[in-house]
Chain A
Amino acid sequence: MSELWQLSATALAAAVRSREASAVDVAEAHLDRALRWNDQVEAFLHLEPEEVRRQAREIDRRIAAGEDPGRLAGVPVAIKDNLCVRGQPATCASRILEPFVPPYDAHVIERLRVKGAVLFGKTNLDEFAMGSSTENSAFGPTRNPFDLERTAGGSSGGSAAAVAAGLAPLALGSDTGGSIRQPAALCGVVGMKPTYGLVSRYGLIAFASSLDQIGPFGRTVDDAALLLEAVGGADARDATSAGVPVPDLRRPGDVKGLRIGVPRECFGEGLAPDVRALVERAIKDLGKAGARIEEVSLPLSVHGIAVYYIVAPSEASSNLARYDGVRYGLRGDGKDVEEMFSLTRGEAFGPEVKRRILLGTFALSSGYYEAYYGRAQRVRAAMRHEMEECFKKVDLLASATTPTAAFALGEKTDDPLAMYLSDVLTVTAPLCGVPALSLPCGRTAAGLPVGLHLTAPRFGESVLFRAARAAEQMLPPFAWPPEPPR
């Protein structure tokens, strides 16, 4: 019989609701595993067992009292540490926010509490979600459960690794240029970035406001859907919230007649042969299941990385200006205010964060604005248009999520450009505001997971999840990483 930690979120919620298992038992099973594994994987930055147990007991009490405990009753959900949970640290893996404890819950956290989820610790990330390997975390990198010498991806590496290793069945991450989908691919789990505006960003510590979206991790497509359904929908506190509810994502269906476009530009030189082989086979399987596979072209998508690395740092340079030591977080001493500002920011931000603040400050400065930020915005608008046109011909796009499987820790830390290029296949979706999902489609010879990337039109979550579920049924089932040495 399966252990509790091996069950899907869907199965756990059913077991707790039907009182086959208590929320406390579920919490203990995952705590036991997390407390043993975290030394190796370093998925969590904060995990307070007593707080987890308190929430679990409350769920059990609600069930005993005959109250509806919610659709996520007793299901542990790991939370990326750039989301605000009242009374718990929210460090963004940065020294500057090390002492910061938010006095309020993010919208998604409120929703999780209402649905009966158990908030299960705060997961590691690249500092302020800037990076693709969690090596930019001020508190050390997360390791890939499939190979501890390799990266779990980033920036939501902690959330992906926690789910892959069975430390939590579900996790929330945030995706700006691929920060959910890339680590999901490298850790062999499902990760999804919703349409911009589907999930409220209230309480998500901003990196790049026009790109950031919160999204789910799970080991199955249905689990990811369950979590997205719980946290998505309108919120008056986010002016960019689209104000639309999440559609039913778990309705059965298949891919018969779906037109799936394969963008030529996503299968260029940088794609590793083993990744290409697995992804092409998965796409072929979708064809066999009745989808119409056709090659399409998105010529502007090749500018994605260039546009992204103007837009995201520009917004970040402004979003991170509030960390000045005046109201919260670390404060550098100084003989006057100017010196306090520069000591605080000079000492407490890591090198990648500083690099992006400098890039963005430059791109927005007078005399350069038009050549950089202005032009990037125009290319972005053209990319959106190109994407819309493409979705008049096809229902979905399919490609690899990442050009390679998990790379070794330290492999790209000295070469920021090489690191940036690991997002080359994922940046297009956030730039265009469209939803996209990565699901595991097999392992390389070295046993490393590879992700299949599906993209849908804006608010096309229904068709996206339907196709992902159909693909999941044809692909090899989720396989656990090797157990850690005791």
Chain B
Amino acid sequence: MKHKVLVGMEVHLQLRTHSKMFCGCPVKFGAPVNTLVCPVCLGLPGSLPVPNRDALTMALALATAMGCEINNLTKFDRKNYFYPDLPKGYQISQYDRPLATGGAVEVVTEAGVKSVRLRRLHIEEDVGKNLHDDARGLSRVDFNRAGTPLVEIVSEPDLASAEEARAYLNALRALVQYLDVSDANMQEGNLRCEPNVNLHIEDAGGVVKTPIIEVKNLNSVRNVERAVKFEIDRQLAEYREKGAAVTKQPRATRGYDDQRDQTFEMREKEEAHDYRYFPEPDIPPLSIDAKWRAEAKARVPELPAARRRRFSDQFGLSAYDADALTRERATADYFEQAVAAGAPPKPAANWITSDLARHANDRKTSVKGLGLAPARLAALVRLVEDGRVARQVASKDVLPRLLDGDDDPEALVSKLGLARIDDASRIEDVARRAIAANARAAADYRAGKEKAIGALMGFVMREMQGKANSDVVQDVLKRLLREGA
């Protein structure tokens, strides 16, 4: 069934300011309940909000980085609704004059590079957090988070797959980390996102558009990808069952259950929400003048997309590798430092995105956080490239020791006798044993099955702990087989 996937993304990003959006309380995660509060963020009678200029500048820097059009005149609006975690009975947000509109984010998947258009970027305040004590049947509210500055970024429905949804979030996270405006950590709730998913399905009678589903409760990039994938499949199945009748269903919100890896219907109130937006009378409209724009622009460093392109051009890396390297600013810096220390770029990229990334993941840190000096990595990469140690040996035996504190790859290699063995005479003996022990493979090879040599090579490499030069091993085996050993 021919269909097109349309995913739009609504992202909320907590800005890492010193103080909250409209008061002087500190922005901090994990403080004791209700200790980071004051009359303003508690919404006490008589208190008034004063916008945090630094938060606005950070949001402007982000808008600049994404090529958004910044409004000359922006204003705050009140979004009215009742909820216990909302101290004032309204959220100060932006409605019809957001900080910025338009712009785009470049995303990279294995299929290539794609530009995702943005609809708008606005600033608002976060709400508190409801804490439920089910055992005692009580609920409490922690207002530490209330008033934390949030940026909301709404994309056009340009994402055409779950992979692109994931890539979009990764690109956005990379961007804000480069700008140093947010931790963008989904587990801690610094970054929250709600994908909107629907399908345009080619039907005999034309195009059937499934109702737009907004998915909530997503706490990791991986879950976003899984939830979008599930939702695409679910909507397809629903269309197969009900046909064009699906268009009569309203747009809806579904939650995501990561235990079962599925979305579920969320009970919505019958009445449609009417937030009764109106201009916030406590805050006059703000004019964003040239000086302020320049200040925001000065905060924008070389961005991931530009750096990715530069890495491709300068070092001949694929877009995919360059993207993996540039997603974290510190990793990209690390790569450049290793290259500067003499590592050939392509192998260095490979070492960082495979070996170092895997160790970082195991140790729950970043590439930089592994503590391996870029010059050490460069030395190791050079040893491999110069043929002095086998890639596998370097990866399995040398690198872990370097990570545990040894600091000279070359000394390590000679001390442990890990140098690559290129001498055919030292290989021949093992090769003979390999042929003797694998008579069937040897016979197959001689019968013309060239691939059968793989089993023989595996035997030799195993016997020699991977240290043998595989080209030499292959030559020796072929010669011996030819000679009828």
Contacts and interface: CB of A to CB of B under 8 A. Distances in A.
Interface of A: 82-84, 90, 92, 97, 100, 102-104, 106, 201-206, 208-210, 236-240, 314-315, 317-318, 320-324, 326-328, 337, 341, 361, 364-366, 369, 373
14 contacts: A203-B47, A205-B45, A236-B50, A238-B50, A239-B283, A239-B284, A240-B281, A240-B284, A321-B90, A327-B42, A327-B87, A337-B84, A361-B276, A364-B80
Contact of B46 (A205, A315, A365, A369): A205
B19 to A, nearest CB: 13
Contacts of A240: 48, 281-284
Given A202-B47, A203-B46, A239-B284, A365 B274 contact: yes
Given A318-B278, A373-B278, A106 B82 contact: no
B139 to A, nearest CB: 8
Contacts of A83: 46
B48 A321 contact: no
Given A236-B50, A237-B50, A322 B45 contact: yes
Contacts of B316: none
B89 A318 contact: yes
5 nearest interchain CB pairs?
A321-B89, A209-B281, A364-B276, A210-B281, A205-B45
Interface in B44-85: 44-51, 78, 80, 82, 84
A226 to B, nearest CB: 24
Nearest to A360: B276
A315 B283 CA distance: 13
Interface string B256-291: 000000000000000000101110011110000000
A341 B82 contact: yes
A92 B281 contact: no
A318 to B, nearest CB: 5
B39 A103 contact: yes
B386 to A, nearest CB: 65
Nearest to B43: A322
Given A318-B78, A364-B80, A84 B50 contact: no
A318 B90 contact: yes
Contacts of B278: 314-315, 318, 364, 369, 373
Contacts of A103: 39, 44
A318 B46 contact: no
Contacts of A238: 48, 50
B141 interface: yes
Given A237-B50, A315-B281, A369-B278, A321 B82 contact: yes
Give chain B's interface secondary structure class: loop
B88 A322 contact: yes
Nearest to B23: A237
Given A239-B284, A318-B278, A369-B278, A84 B82 contact: no
Given A106-B46, A202-B48, 18 more contacts: A83-B46, A92-B45, A102-B39, A102-B46, A103-B39, A203-B47, A206-B282, A209-B281, A317-B276, A318-B80, A318-B89, A318-B90, A320-B89, A322-B45, A326-B141, A328-B45, A341-B82, A364-B277
Nearest to A373: B278
Contacts of B45: 84, 90, 92, 97, 100, 102, 205-206, 322, 328
Contacts of A97: 45
Nearest to A236: B50
Contacts of A324: 82, 84, 89
Q: How large is the interface on B (under 10, 10 to 19, 20 to 34, 35 or more residues)?
A: 20 to 34
A460 B141 CA distance: 47
B33 to A, nearest CB: 13
B48 A237 contact: yes
Residue of A201, A237, A238 with highest tally of chain B CB at under 10 A: A237
Nearest to A96: B45
A351 to B, nearest CB: 20
- Which of B43, B47, B49, B277 counts the most chain A CB atoms within 10 A? B47
Contacts of B51: 239
A401 B78 CA distance: 34
A318 B276 contact: yes
Contacts of A208: 281
Contact of A328 (B44, B141, B274): B44
Contacts of A361: 276
A82 B46 CA distance: 8
A14 B168 CA distance: 71
B134 to A, nearest CB: 14
Contact of B87 (A100, A202, A322): A322
Contact of A321 (B88, B139, B281): B88
Contacts of A206: 45-46, 282
Nearest to A212: B281
A239 B45 CA distance: 16
Nearest to A337: B84
B164 to A, nearest CB: 33
A84 B89 contact: no
A19 to B, nearest CB: 36
Contact of B43 (A204, A327, A364): A327
A61 B49 CA distance: 37
Contacts of A237: 48, 50
Contacts of A321: 80, 82, 88-90
Nearest to A315: B281
B249 to A, nearest CB: 23
Nearest to A83: B46
Contacts of A202: 46-48
Contacts of B48: 201-202, 237-240
Contacts of B44: 102-104, 327-328
A236 B87 CA distance: 22
A314 B281 CA distance: 11
A205 B282 CA distance: 12
B276 A90 contact: no
- Please indicate which of the listed interface residues B49, B78, B82 has the most CB atoms of chain A within 10 Å of its own CB: B82
B285 to A, nearest CB: 11
B406 to A, nearest CB: 57
A321 B78 CA distance: 11
A317 B274 CA distance: 14
Nearest to A197: B284
B149 to A, nearest CB: 15
B117 to A, nearest CB: 27
Contacts of B89: 318, 320-324
A118 to B, nearest CB: 21
A382 B145 CA distance: 41
A322 B83 CA distance: 10
A87 to B, nearest CB: 14
Nearest to A321: B89
A379 to B, nearest CB: 16
Given A238-B48, A314-B278, A326 B284 contact: no
Interface string B115-137: 00000000000000000000000
A309 to B, nearest CB: 16
Contacts of B50: 236-239
Contact of A366 (B43, B78, B276, B284): B276
Interface string B141-163: 10000000000000000000000
Contacts of A84: 45-46
A252 B48 CA distance: 37
Interface in B383-434: none
Contacts of A369: 276, 278
Contacts of B276: 317-318, 361, 364-366, 369
